[in-house]
Amino acid sequence: MSGISRRRLLRRGLAAAAGFSGLGVATRLAAGYGLVPPDGGGIFGPGDTLTYAAHRLLVGDAPAREFPRHMISAAPFPNTPDPPNEEYTRLQAGGFTDWRLQVDGLVERPLSLSLDELRQFPSRSQITQLACEEGWSYIAEWTGVALADLLAAAGMRSGARFVACHPMDPWWEAIDMADALHPQTIVATGMNGSALPATFGGPLRMRVPRQLGYKSVKYLVRLQVVDSVRDLGRGLGGSNPEIGYAWYAGI
């Protein structure tokens, strides 16, 4: 069966199951297609599972909206946490020349890249909106490397299903391969034509424009490819699901 008709069939099945037989059947159907999010087991689980499964099936690879240059926000709002730790302050004092991004886990060739080495990869710029779950948002241009290119350089091993994004502070989030390999998902070193400011997560952050702001991990130091998020933190796929937000935050 082609991808499209399989999708259409499943979508109909999901809607019918949710409508007539309750969430339980719909979530079992989603599970059959591997579309249960890591936090799908909790009290909000069935709802989160339906949102995730429906988005993956309906939205598919659809890109996040990109904006014309004149819509870039004049005064973007940095939701700045305190400097993550002393090591960050030390690296910052050295102009971030010693900053490294590790790419490890289920990969053939673990990578440890400086910012200069990252900039050797093909560069991609896009003007997208960062929308916080608290209701504010801004539009900016981000420049960086497609996460897909980094994963290709590292060579993903079979079974790879999620990429956990680890920063220097306690924040962390995992994304599935649909987002990890999406061309708009980038590891950003630049913002609005300059180096990414520390206030916005510099020198390096994730931009996952198809999801809410909290998935765009700042101060990025490690990308860990895993087959499951079970053994990371409390096993819910991120620090935000651990405090009650949905793991999947598609917009």
Q: Mask: binding to ligand MTE, 163-192, rule CB under 6 A, as x and -?
A: ----x-x-x---------------------
Binder among 40, 190, 203, 213 for ligand MTE (CB under 6 A): 213
Shortest distance, CB of residue 155 to ligand MTE, whole angstroms?
27
Shortest distance, CB of residue 55 to ligand MTE, whole angstroms?
19
Tell me: does residue 132 bind ligand MTE (CB under 6 A).
Answer: yes
Cα–Cα dist 213/169, whole Å: 16
Tell me: does residue 214 bind ligand MTE (CB under 6 A).
Answer: yes
**Which residues pair with residue 168 across a beta bridge?**
none
Shortest distance, CB of residue 7 to ligand MTE, whole angstroms?
31
**Residues whose CB falls within 8 Å of the CB of residue 216, separated by 6 or more in sequence, listed in order:** 130, 201, 205, 206, 207, 208, 209
Binder among 22, 60, 63, 78 for ligand MTE (CB under 6 A): 78
Task: Indicate the SS3 state at residue 24.
Answer: helix
Shortest distance, CB of residue 129 to ligand MTE, whole angstroms?
11
CA distances (Å), origin 76, targets 83, 131, 211: 19, 11, 18
Do residues 185 and 147 make contact, with C-beta atoms less than 8 angstroms apart?
yes
Task: Indicate the SS3 state at residue 224.
Answer: strand
From 218, 146, 231, select the one nearest 180 (Cα to Cα). Answer: 146
Stretch that binds ligand MTE, among 17-25, 38-46, 119-127, 217-225 (CB under 6 A): 217-225
Size of the site for ligand MTE (CB under 6 A): 18
From 89, 109, 110, 93, select the one nearest 101 (Cα to Cα). Answer: 110
Q: Of the two residues 30 and 249, which places its CB atom closer to ligand MTE in the complex?
A: 249
Binder among 38, 46, 201, 213 for Mo ion (CB under 5 A): 213
Binder among 88, 162, 214, 248 for Mo ion (CB under 5 A): 214
Pairing of strands 186-191, 173-176: unpaired
Q: What separation, in Å, do the N-terminal and C-terminal C-alpha atoms of the chain show?
A: 29
Tell me: does residue 216 bind ligand MTE (CB under 6 A).
Answer: yes
Shortest distance, CB of residue 27 to ligand MTE, whole angstroms?
27
Sites of contact with ligand MTE (CB under 6 A): 77-81, 130, 132, 167, 169, 171, 200-201, 213-214, 216-219
